[in-house]
Amino acid sequence: MAKIEFLGPIDKESIEIEITHLSELKEYFKGDEEVAQWLQNSAIAVNDKLVNNLNLTISKEDKISLLPPVCGG
């Protein structure tokens, strides 16, 4: 199963889920309002590389990171 890592202010422990394409994240988290909101404006990294293609095939060894926008100084 792919590991999902929630970074920054997303207050969730990492989980493992069974998906085959990155585009399935939205459907998987539709019942979790907090994560669904973050998905709308977060960057996504797969194996520590930012991705733009939501049709990316995911394998069971992949690590998916949700990177919410943050500001700081």
What pLDDT does 11 receive?
87
Q: State which CATH number among 3.10.20.30, 3.20.20.140, 3.10.20.600, 2.60.40.150 fits the domain covering 2-64.
A: 3.10.20.30
DSSP per residue over the chain, as a string? -EEEEE-TT-----EEE--SBTTHHHHHTTT-HHHHHHHHH-EEEETTEEE--TT-B--TT-EEEEE------
pLDDT in tens, 18-73: 999 999 998 999 999 999 999 989 999 999 999 999 899 999 999 999 999 876 65
Residue 13 has pLDDT above 90, yes or no: yes
Domain ranges in the chain? 2-64
Give the pLDDT score at 5.
97
**pLDDT number for residue 6:** 96
Query: pTM (2 decimals)?
Result: 0.89
User: Quick one: pLDDT at residue 19?
Assistant: 94
